[in-house]
Amino acid sequence: MSWIHSVLFLLLTCRWCVVTGESSPEVTDDGAPMEKTEREALYSAIQGFVGDSWNGSDLYPDPCGWTPIQGVSCDLYGDLWYVTDLTLGIVHENSLPCVTSLEIKPQLFKLKHLKSLTFFNCFTAEITIAKEDWINLGSSLESLEFRSNPGLNGELPETIGSLTKLKSLVVLENGFNGKVPASLCNLTMLQRLVLAGNLFNGTIPDCFNGFKDLLILDMSRNLFSGTLPLSIGEMVSLLKLDLSNNQLEGKVPQEIGFLKNLTLLDLRNNRISGGLFENVFKIRSLTDLVLSGNPMGSDDDDMMGLKWEDMGSLVILDLSKMGLRGEIPSGLASLKRLRFLGLNDNNLTGTVPSKELETLPCLGALYINGNNLTGELGFSRNFYEKMGTRFKASKNPNLCLRIVSESHQQCVGLKPCMMEKTEGGLVIKQTWSNLKKDDDESSSSTGVMVTRHVLSNGFIWDLLLLELSLVLVLYYYY
């Protein structure tokens, strides 16, 4: 029986050899070993973007080895090399430029281990991306980016929602329009989702409850409308939320207060209303809070009742053009890291807490112009010199400068304050058109003080008193 066993063993061995030979891929024998189908797919995919005249096999015979292609990276799987990263478009000086009449060839979707795919300024002529084939990359692709492709139009393919291993989806400054496909809700492994600078419209999908790992959500500069989704508070890992420059309306949901790790909240230039919301002040990690250009102001809601001391991490605070009422709270002085404060073009009233705001050590820009502020602006000369043109207080009819030089007055855009005193039957009003000289300055510096005497009979004359010479100029007015 031993010979029978020997024959059976030989038959099984030969069968295994045949089967193995049939399933083994054909491998390149020059340079880094690759499947020939992988290398040919790479050549064909790139040729579709850079033109038929490009001959990859001649120019780059070993694309994963000694003749690498700019924008292509490879990695080793088993004993063979496969393409893992592919960037198309002029990212670097020696990158391969895309032609106008490009073609997305099906071989692109046959790269078995492709993890990252980027199109940068590649689609300049109008083109619509087909829905098919994307599912073929679902088992490997982790990053997909469309950056600065003005020719990309139509809707974002819904089959992108089948790329469930994606960690980064960037669709930035293209021509995509229509509604965001609901299939994007399947991409729960995302850490970065950027859909900014397109023409997307409709409502923002309310399906963020599964996005526990999302760090960045940027849907700015589109045409999104409707209210903010309630599930926005479910993204507990979120660091940056930018929904600016859309057509969003309604109130900000209270669930936003659950975003305890958020550092940037930018909702500027929408139609969000309902007043400043206290739930935002539960997010003590915020460094950038930009709410400008939303009609949030109301009669019952002003800045004074908010706990600014809880927002000590703020670096940028922009509350301009919101219709805010009430006074500027002195509690803003507790924001010791603040560098930018924008309160312009509101309905703020009362006096400016100049001394308190001047104590902010990092403040480099302050805008309070376009309000109804009153009284004297009492910042020091050093403050005005430090700020320069980054300080604006104009268009406050009843606000004046207490002490100011001509250059500072022009920069700030306010009139000098009048000082009134009564001497006998005279009401004397004095204004400074130059800063008083500091004690440590040279005695030769000149300051000009204008003294206006108002008589009971209606005559007025102005006295110009110079520090170095007394020159009397008499003007009569009726």
- Residue pLDDT, tens place only, 241-250: 999 999 999 9
Q: What is the mean pLDDT of residues 332-337?
A: 97
Question: What digits encode the pLDDT tens for the residues 101-137?
Answer: 999 999 999 999 999 999 999 999 999 888 889 999 9
Indicate if the pLDDT at residue 34 is higher than 70: yes
Q: What is the mean pLDDT of residues 463-468?
A: 38
Tally Cβ neighbours within 10 Å of residue 348.
23
Give the C-alpha separation, 201 to 195, whole Å: 11
pLDDT band with cut points at 50, 70 and 90 for residue 409: low
Give the C-alpha separation, 196 to 177, whole Å: 11
- Is the CB of residue 244 less than 8 Å from the CB of residue 268? yes
Residue whose token pair is 């089948």? 162
In the prediction, which pLDDT does 456 show?
A: 41
Indicate if the pLDDT at residue 435 is higher than 50: no
In the prediction, which pLDDT does 296 show?
A: 81
Q: 422: burial class by Cβ within 10 Å (0-12, 13-18, 19+)?
A: exposed
7 Cβ neighbours under 8 A, 6+ residues apart: none
Q: What is the mean pLDDT of residues 208-226?
A: 97
Indicate if the pLDDT at residue 219 is higher than 90: yes
143 Cβ neighbours under 8 A, 6+ residues apart: 115, 116, 117, 118, 166, 167, 168, 169, 170
- Give the Å distances, CA to CA, from 361 to 146, 340, 358, 386, 454: 41, 12, 8, 11, 43
pLDDT band with cut points at 50, 70 and 90 for residue 306: confident
What's the chain's length in residues? 478
Q: Which of 29-38, 132-141, 172-181 shows the lowest per-residue confidence on average (mean pLDDT)?
A: 29-38
Q: What is the mean pLDDT of residues 320-326?
A: 93
Indicate if the pLDDT at residue 440 is higher than 90: no
**What is the distance in angstroms between the CA of the first residue and the CA of the last residue of the chain?**
139
The percentage of the chain sitting over the pLDDT mark of 70, rounded to a whole number, equals: 79
Looking at residue 403, its amino acid is I
Question: What digits encode the pLDDT tens for the residues 156-169?
Answer: 999 999 999 999 99
Looking at residue 172, its amino acid is L
- Is the CB of residue 49 less than 8 Å from the CB of residue 74? no
Residue 2 belongs to what H/E stretch? helix 2-23
In the prediction, which pLDDT does 423 show?
A: 58
Question: Where are the alpha helices (H) located in 267-418, listed in sequence order?
Answer: 354-358, 381-387, 406-412
Give the C-alpha separation, 104 to 116, whole Å: 16
Q: Which of 54-63, 289-298, 451-460 shows the lowest per-residue confidence on average (mean pLDDT)?
A: 451-460
Give the C-alpha separation, 392 to 452, whole Å: 28
The percentage of the chain sitting over the pLDDT mark of 90, rounded to a whole number, equals: 68
Question: Where are the alpha helices (H) located in 397-477, listed in sequence order?
Answer: 406-412
Most confident of 20-29, 161-170, 290-299: 161-170
Give the C-alpha separation, 217 to 235, whole Å: 10
Question: What digits encode the pLDDT tens for the residues 337-349?
Answer: 999 999 999 999 9
In the prediction, which pLDDT does 406 show?
A: 61
